[in-house]
Amino acid sequence: MGPMRATLLHSPRDIRLDDVPDAALVLDTDAVVRVVASCICGSDLWPYRGVHDVRKPQRIGHEFVGIVEQVGADVSTVQPGDFVIAPFTFSDNTCALCERGVHTSCTNGGMWGLRDKQGHDVDGGQGEFVRIPWADGTLVATPSEPSAEMIPHLLTLSDVFPTGHHAAVSAGVKAGSTVAVVGDGAVGLSAVLAAKRLGAARIVAMSRHDDRQQVARSFGADEIVAERGKEGAKTVREMLDGIGADHVLECVGTKDSMAQAIACARPGGRIGYVGVPHDVELNVPAMFGRNIGIAGGIAPVRAYLGELLPDVLDGTVAPGAVFDLTVPLDQVAEGYRAMDERTAIKTMLTI
């Protein structure tokens, strides 16, 4: 390996591809993966925009796929040459919480770009190589090397598609039920696709943007509602039997979007929420009177890959349509700018 490059956020809106220490095996349970494609998440925009302090140049990115380069002595489920999907958190896949499908709360788990439980730095995903802690528990290999066309679809499995799926599962979407989706970002669009895949009979996507409406329709939305807030919720209720949606997928995370989601739900309905909450408040007495439930959170991607990967590989779903901009990794700054300015829904970074 030559000098490795990875994305560093130096200060708000100053993001660059720089030389960094080489990714290397540290523990016997590690692997090193050569990144084939990564992407930018809506949540990456929070530090990019300076909402969180950036004290020193920090590694960033948590969605990537690639080829295994090296494995530690204790790694047995993947081997060099395997094409792998890396969920946006790493996990041992064996602890009591992983066993219950909550890999995001894994006793040994952690997040890309931070540190593992042993105190070693962990690479960010927007780079050339990544050291993978708990490679057996974290990585999922495809049966063979995928075609170039398949890469974007597989890349969505590292975060955005399973996150939409988590919203749908948390809300209890099932065959024949009605669904409203709040949020037309990549996660909201993925939630539409996930609801469709689970057999929802009627899906209403809430979106004001023509390009996103089109993706929503291609993913299975039956209706588009452009209004927001109370007006939008009223329209959704009228569309859905006059009572509202059985399941509402909240994919934004603001106070307004959550209020909109609750107003879209029928009595007895469930909200599945995956938008990282910022100042969200819940009107508990109102939810109590109407029997509105809420579930969701940070998506345990690893738990869902066994179910979702086959449907991506055989073309049942094509979630990669959320990417409407692809740039090489060394133009990562352009990728962030486009998402920040909302000229792109989601940016893929190739190497």
100 makes contact with a copy of itself (CB under 8 A): yes
Query: Residue 286 CB, nearest distance to a copy of itself (Å)?
Result: 10
E strand or H helix at 313: helix 301-313
- Encoded one letter per residue, x for contact with a copy of itself by CB under 8 A and - for no contact, window 148-187 reads ----------------------x-----------------
In the complex with a copy of itself, which residue's Cβ is closer, 83 or 88? 88
In the complex with a copy of itself, which residue's Cβ is closer, 276 or 333? 276
Query: Residue 267 CB, nearest distance to a copy of itself (Å)?
Result: 4
Query: Residue 276 CB, nearest distance to a copy of itself (Å)?
Result: 7
Contact by Cβ (8 Å): 126, 349: yes
Identified binder of a copy of itself from the candidate list 243, 325, 333, 351, rule CB under 8 A = 243
Phi and psi of 28, rounded to 5°?
Answer: -65, -15
List C-alpha distances in Å: 62 to 56, 88, 111, 143: 19, 5, 7, 23
Q: Where are the alpha helices (DSSP H) in 139-282?
A: 151-155, 160-170, 186-197, 210-219, 229-239, 255-264
Identified binder of a copy of itself from the candidate list 119, 242, 306, 315, rule CB under 8 A = 242
Q: How far apart are CA 215 and CA 337, in angstroms?
A: 21
Q: Which of 12, 63, 17 is nearest to 186 (CA)?
A: 63
- Encoded one letter per residue, x for contact with a copy of itself by CB under 8 A and - for no contact, window 42-81 reads ----------------------------------------
* Type of residue at 59: R
Q: How far apart are CA 261 and CA 270, in angstroms?
A: 10
Give me the count of residues in the chain: 351
293 makes contact with a copy of itself (CB under 8 A): yes
Strands 140-141 and 58-59: unpaired
199 makes contact with a copy of itself (CB under 8 A): no
Q: How far apart are CA 188 and CA 204, in angstroms?
A: 11
Binding piece for a copy of itself, criterion CB under 8 A, among 1-9, 39-47, 79-87, 295-303: 295-303
190 makes contact with a copy of itself (CB under 8 A): no
Identified binder of a copy of itself from the candidate list 3, 119, 285, 315, rule CB under 8 A = 285
3 makes contact with a copy of itself (CB under 8 A): no
92 makes contact with a copy of itself (CB under 8 A): no
Contact by Cβ (8 Å): 141, 82: yes
295 makes contact with a copy of itself (CB under 8 A): yes
Q: How far apart are CA 202 and CA 247, in angstroms?
A: 11
104 makes contact with a copy of itself (CB under 8 A): yes
Q: Which of 298, 275, 307, 306 is nearest to 105 (CA)?
A: 298
Among positions 300-319, residues that touch a copy of itself (CB under 8 A) are: 300
Task: State whether residue 243 is helix, strand or coil.
Answer: coil
Identified binder of a copy of itself from the candidate list 249, 294, 308, 309, rule CB under 8 A = 294
Q: How far apart are CA 275 and CA 265, in angstroms?
A: 17
In the complex with a copy of itself, which residue's Cβ is closer, 31 or 308? 308
Identified binder of a copy of itself from the candidate list 80, 81, 143, 267, rule CB under 8 A = 267
Contact by Cβ (8 Å): 75, 138: no
In the complex with a copy of itself, which residue's Cβ is closer, 193 or 271? 271
Give me the residues that bind a copy of itself (CB under 8 A), please: 96-97, 100-102, 104-105, 170, 241-243, 246, 266-268, 270, 273, 276-277, 280-282, 284-285, 287-298, 300
